[in-house]
Amino acid sequence: MATSKIKKGDLVRVIAGKDKGKEGKVISIDRKNERVLVEGINMITKHTKPSAQNQNGGIINQEAPISISNVMYVVNGKTTRIGFTEKDGKKVRVAKATGEVID
């Protein structure tokens, strides 16, 4: 499997689906299934039973994972692809649109 270009904490924009155009921060990544959880995107309602953590139970809203191919990295308010280069002997991510080093 190839290296994932999107990482936890990145700001991304949804480019396909019901939440197209919305932006959010990546909460987690499932590399095996190529899914990503983005803050405030693809919200679902879940019915929960009372438990030790949630005494009342009830209906909660939470994010559901979306395909990693449906999000793009955002730099300076603009979406961009991500490439890799070597800088000072380290492999770093680079924004293709601006050429600047991401991390």
Mean pLDDT of 57-64: 93
- pLDDT-derived band at 1, boundaries 50, 70, 90: low
pTM: 0.84
User: With DSSP H G I counted as helix, E B as strand and the rest as coil, what are the percentages for the chain, rounded to 5?
Assistant: 5, 50, 50
Tens of pLDDT, residue by residue over 24-48, are 999 999 999 999 999 999 999 999 9
Average pLDDT, the chain: 93
Spacing of C-alpha 89 from chain mean position: 28
Q: Whole-angstrom distance between the N-terminal and C-terminal Cα of the chain?
A: 22
Which residue, 56, 69, 21, is CA-closest to 41? 21
> Which residue type sits at 91?
K
